[in-house]
Structures are given as C-alpha cells and as structure tokens.
C-alpha cells in the first residue's frame, strides 16, 4: 500500500493532534516544557519497523497498550532505560528507603502510569476526533530492544507506523510515542479522515 502526499499529510495531522494533547498532559505531570517533533507516518513491514525508528540495539523502557475497536494495533511510549528513571524521579522524587528490587519495581510501576497517561490521552483524543470508540488494554511495562518491540507480529505484515519524539527540555529526557496500526485500521482511518475532510 502506497500513501499519497495528501494521505500522509492527513495522518501526520491526526497524529499531531493526539500527541500534542498527550504532550500537554506530560508537561503537567512533570512541570516541564515538552517539545515534540512533527510526527512521521509510513507504511512498512512490521519486521522492518524497528529499522525505521531512531534507536540503538540497546534495551529500552517500553510501556505499551493494545488497541481494538475503531482502530486496532499497539501504542508504545519508549524511553532509554536510564532516562526513564530520571523521568520517574522527576515525578515522584527519590525514595531513600527503597533499594534493589523494590526500587526497580517502584520505578517500573511509576513508568507504567506515565505511559498509561500519555497513551490514553493520545488515543482518547483520536477516538473523539474520529467519533468512534477505541478500547485499550491495561498498560504493560517491559525492557526490550526496538527489534524485540515488533517481534511476534508476523513478518510479512504491513503496518502503519506513526511516531514522534517528545523531549522534556529542563530534565533533558527524550522519549518516543509510537503508534502501530494494522493495515485494515490504516485504511479505515484514511476513509474516516477523508469523510471528515469532506464534511
């Protein structure tokens, strides 16, 4: 499936609206200015998806939620693992009484909630814009490489990827919001956008 310039532009704009709202909430959460790039949108093989993201082979902190309903796919908030800790401690402060596994569990739990807020805000904005209902699973935290993020979804499958970089300027923390939609959802989304533009 090839996207036309007009379709790409429409996808970037809808992603921009959802992610901008998520960036606003992240800004409130961290009391920091969040700068975001213009979102990228492209159709790619799921097995090739990791190559199109600006990441290294190292494990990253990933919070994801699966989508179903009006749109099907998966939304991810991705951070470098060390930067995710900076983010968590910026939010909750240091907990001197915790160490080792307890501290790790605390950091993962907090990171999961940050991901939940960012992803839910973005997806609910899209749902309302499309006048549809998108169901979200509870958030899952994991540490994996970009390659592993997209493993297991079928190598020959085309997907729509929309992603942008979010940066907390004062805390110097950078993350990515990555939305992966099935090709069927991408087609539906383009139809809905076309309908919205026509109306």
Partner 1 sequence: MRILIVDDSITSRLLFKANLPPGLEVDLDEAGACEGALLKIADNEPDLIFLDYNLPGKNGVEIARAIRAAGCQGKFVLLTANLQNSIVDEAKEVGFVAVLEKPITRENVEYILSEIG
DSSP 104-172: HHHHHHHHHHHHHHHHHHHHHHHHHHTTS-EEEPPPEEEEE-HHHHTTTS-TT-EEEEEEEEEEETTTT
CB 33, min distance to partner 1, A:
15
Query: Left, alpha or beta for 93 (phi > 0: left; psi -120 to 50: alpha)?
Result: left
Segment lying near partner 1 (by CB under 8 A), choices 54-62, 118-126, 148-156, 181-189: 118-126
CB 64, min distance to partner 1, A:
13
Task: Between 134 and 193, name the residue whose CB sits nearer to partner 1.
Answer: 134
Alpha carbons 87 and 10: distance in angstroms, whole number: 32
Tokens of 64: 């994801």
Q: In the window 119-138, what residues touch partner 1 (CB under 8 A)?
A: 120-121, 123-124, 127-128, 131, 133-134, 136-138
Task: Between 69 and 154, name the residue whose CB sits nearer to partner 1.
Answer: 69
Residue closest to 114 by CA, chosen among 22, 20, 18, 34 = 22
Task: Between 101 and 156, name the residue whose CB sits nearer to partner 1.
Answer: 101
Task: Between 47 and 128, name the residue whose CB sits nearer to partner 1.
Answer: 128
Binding site for partner 1 (CB under 8 A): 25, 28-29, 91-92, 106, 109-110, 112-114, 116-118, 120-121, 123-124, 127-128, 131, 133-134, 136-139
């Amino acid at each position: 499936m090839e996207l036309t310039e007009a379709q790409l532009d429409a996808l970037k704009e809808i992603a921009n609206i959802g992610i901008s709202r998520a960036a606003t909430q992240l800004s409130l959460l961290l009391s920091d200015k969040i700068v975001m790039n213009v979102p990228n949108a492209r159709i790619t093989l799921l097995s090739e998806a990791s190559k199109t993201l600006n990441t290294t082979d190292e494990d990253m902190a990933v919070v994801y939620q699966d989508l179903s309903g009006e749109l099907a796919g998966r939304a991810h908030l991705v951070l470098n693992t060390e930067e995710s800790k900076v983010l968590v401690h910026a939010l909750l402060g240091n907990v001197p009484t915790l160490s080792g596994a307890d501290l790790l569990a605390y950091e993962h739990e907090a990171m999961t909630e940050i991901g939940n807020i960012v992803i839910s805000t973005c997806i609910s904005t899209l749902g309302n814009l499309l006048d549809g209902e998108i169901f979200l699973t509870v958030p899952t935290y994991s540490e994996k490489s970009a390659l592993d993020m997209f493993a297991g979804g079928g190598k020959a499958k085309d997907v729509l990827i929309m992603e942008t970089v979010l940066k907390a300027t004062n805390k110097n923390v950078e993350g990515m919001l990555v939305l992966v939609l099935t090709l069927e959802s991408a087609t539906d989304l383009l139809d809905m956008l076309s309908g919205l533009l026509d109306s």
